[in-house]
A and B are shown apart, each in its own frame.
Chain A
Amino acid sequence: MAVAIVLVLLIVGSVIFNFLSPWWFTPIASNWGTIDTTLIITFIITGIAFVAISLFMAYSIYRFHHKEGRVAHYEPENNKLEWWLTILTTIGVVAMLAPGLVVWNDYITVPEGADEVEAVGKQWQWSFRFPGEDGKLGTTDIKFVSFDNPFGINPDDPNGQDDILISEPELHLPIDRPVKMLLRSYDVLHDFYVPQFRAKMDLVPGLITYFWFIPTRTGKFDLLCAELCGVGHYTMRGHVVVDEAEDFDEWLSSKPTYAQFLAAATAAPAMTGLATKGQEVAGAQGCLSCHTIDGTSGVGPTWKGLFGKEETLADGTTVRVDEAYLIESVSDPNAKLVEGFAPIMPPYELSDEDMAALIALIKSKSE
């Protein structure tokens, strides 16, 4: 008996929870209102089914629970009833599926003239590339990736020279223009996910995947990785800022093209012998995928101005960055964790020589 009452309370409570809960979709900021509509259709149909089935069950329990002398009705089957229920269910399923397939067709049909923008994922940060003046993205291959060419752009492809490179995890997009996001990964699966846009798609190494949308609301939105990509998965964040057209143009014009980037990299001052070797070590060990040397923020603390700096640690104490601290932080990264960074760096074992070179590099960035 109690169970019938509890069931009714649960059902009513669930419905009330649905209407009163503060947790609901974020306000939409893209053209995919149709996805929301399809979802609401699904929600209404399944909601009715949930309430009807469970209330019927609760009533059955209340009405037919065991009493002295009660005898169950003997009825092996009732074909007519079962077929009616089957037909009714089929109608409900079609009512959900049909709009779903129509919207899916829109979702996978990129409109003519959509702006192409590329998002590149690697553990655990985002970067982006615009096609530049010619409107065409240069071809890329992972084999071209180097310190001077972080996007792996084909140096012989003329379309690539004017590509605009965004090396920090903040992407600006103009409002009301269709965007075709081209997605590329260097290492593992990632997923480009902005809750307010509703759309998302995996980044798959070895493939270029895509999806499209139209930003319809200006503002700054969280960009998250939605496909588990290793221990730093939850730190792989960024922002998408939707701008009015003129703000967007201004922002874009402040970013370097590939040609400019290349020129700046080759013009950089020569380093001492040991520091140059440190650069090789840092490249080979993959340090630079998390630590930048130009002062921009990365997954780990930047090396620019690091040596000699006073760092605040996660436990509130401070430490001066010296050789001993650097050595410890390479072999046991979580021993003294800098505030604001996640404990995700794996320990490395470097030879004394390599370590010295690395320290020389870090020192050279603090002069």
Chain B
Amino acid sequence: MSIFRILATKPWERNEASLGDLHGGGELSLPTQKIGLFVFLSVVTVLFGLIAAANVMRMKFGDWQPLTDPQMLWVNTGVLAFSSLALQWASVSARRQNLKGLKIGFFLGGVLAVAFLAGQILVWRNLIDSGHVVLGNSANGFFYMITAIHGLHLLGGLWAWGKSAVRIGRGVEIRELRLGVELCTLYWHFLLLVWLGMFALLLRT
């Protein structure tokens, strides 16, 4: 039922009341955890949207010097994309009751995510070594802030990933693993998308 139809109902009227009595109490036919995740993802979307907006506004001021884009970021982007892909594989395997595929995909996804984070730290170190510190150039400031906040979100994801990994290790049944794997996959795809957006923004500056 569309939100407008819902808002137009008159709950005190008899026929509406009869319909209302049939209502199960939930609004969406999705698992609760997934809805929680969707709500969280909208918060994170706003967060990165605002950072991007601030970045664009700040670029307009006189002293802006564009960032020297480290080539290594392309490699990291690829690693993150493969990480996402691996989790997708795990998700599909879970749906097809393929435990082996699930295990390989899921662990590969996690390892690649860790590799991505390591790669980001390496980029940081190279940048700092070559003198691109936060002082003096706000483009650098934005770069460090964006990568840090994105990395922290991925780290949070890895914590959830770790919880699911323990359950897989304990040999929990595949039916019960599915939701956790799907949520991780969703979150990974989302963070990949955010990263692609942010990377495009950084390339533009």
B contacts with A: majority SS: loop
Q: What are the residues of chain B within 8 A of A76 when measuring CB–CB? A: 10, 12
B13 → A minimal CB distance (Å): 8
What CA separation (Å) do A182 and B12 show in the bound complex? 62
Q: How many residues of B contact A (CB 8 A)?
A: 3
Residues of B within 8 A of A77 (CB): 10
Residues of chain A lying within 8 A (CB to CB) of residue B12: 76
Within 8 A of B (CB), among A201-237: 206
CB interface residues, A 239-253, toward B, < 8 Å? none
Within B100-123, which residues are at the interface with A (CB < 8 Å)? none
| Chain A residue at minimum C-beta to C-beta distance from B62 | A206
Residue ID in chain B nearest A206 by CB atoms: B61
Q: Cα distance A47–B61 when bound, in Å? A: 45
Contact with B along A316-346 (1 / 0, CB 8 A): 0000000000000000000000000000000
Total A-B Cβ pairs within 8 A: 4
Interface size on A, residues (CB 8 A): 3
Which residues on the A side are within 8 Å of B10 (C-beta)?
76-77
Closest to A77 in B: B10
Contacts of A206 in B (CB 8 A): 61
Residue of B nearest to A207 (CB): B61
Q: How far is the CB of B197 from chain A (nearest CB, A)?
A: 29
A residues within 8 A CB of B61? 206
Q: How far is the CA of A76 from the CA of B11 in the complex (A)?
A: 10
A76 to B12, CA, bound (A): 7
What residue of chain A has the Cβ atom nearest to residue B10's Cβ? A76
A77 CA to B10 CA, complexed, in Å = 10
Contact flags (1/0) for A46-79 with B, using CB distance below 8 Å?
0000000000000000000000000000001100
- The complex places the Cα of A295 from the Cα of B23 at a distance, in Å, of 83
Q: How far is the CA of A77 from the CA of B13 in the complex (A)?
A: 11
Give 1 or 0 for each of A282-311: 1 = CB within 8 Å of chain B CB. 000000000000000000000000000000
Closest to A76 in B: B12
Interchain CA distance A76-B10 in the complex, whole Å:
9
Quote the shortest CB–CB distance from B12 to chain A (angstroms).
Answer: 5
What's the Cα separation between A77 and B12 when bound, in Å? 10
Among B31-76, those with CB < 8 Å from A are 61
Q: Which residues of chain A from 71 to 105 have a CB within 8 Å of any chain B CB?
A: 76-77
Q: How many Å lie between the Cα of A76 and that of B61 in the bound state?
A: 56
Alpha-carbon distance A206/B12, docked complex (angstroms): 60
Residue in chain A with minimal CB distance to B12: A76
| Smallest CB separation, A177 vs chain B (Å) | 34
Q: How far is the CA of A294 from the CA of B96 in the complex (A)?
A: 87
- How far does the alpha carbon of A104 sit from the alpha carbon of B10 in the complex, in Å? 43
What's the least CB distance linking A59 to chain B, in Å? 27
Taken together as a complex, chains A and B put the C-alpha atoms of A206 and B61 apart, in Å, by 10
User: Within the complex, what minimum Cβ distance (angstroms) separates B124 from chain A?
Assistant: 29
In the bound assembly, the distance between CA atoms of A206 and B10 in angstroms comes to 56
Give, as a whole number of angstroms, the nearest-CB distance from B123 to chain A: 31
Proximity string of chain B (1-38) to chain A, C-beta cutoff 8 Å, 1 when within and 0 when not: 00000000010100000000000000000000000000
0 or 1 for each of A148-180: is its CB under 8 Å from B? (1 = yes): 000000000000000000000000000000000
State the Cβ distance, B136 to closest chain A Cβ, in Å: 15
Q: What is the CA–CA distance of A206 and B60 in the complex, to the nearest angstrom? A: 13
Whole-angstrom CA separation of A206 from B63 in the bound complex: 11
- Complex Cα distance, B11 from A77, in Å, reads 11
A and B contact pairs by CB, cutoff 8 A, 4 listed:
A76-B10, A76-B12, A77-B10, A206-B61
Chain B interface residues (CB < 8 Å from chain A): 10, 12, 61
What 4 A-B pairs have minimum CB-CB distances, sorted nearest first?
A: A76-B12, A76-B10, A77-B10, A206-B61
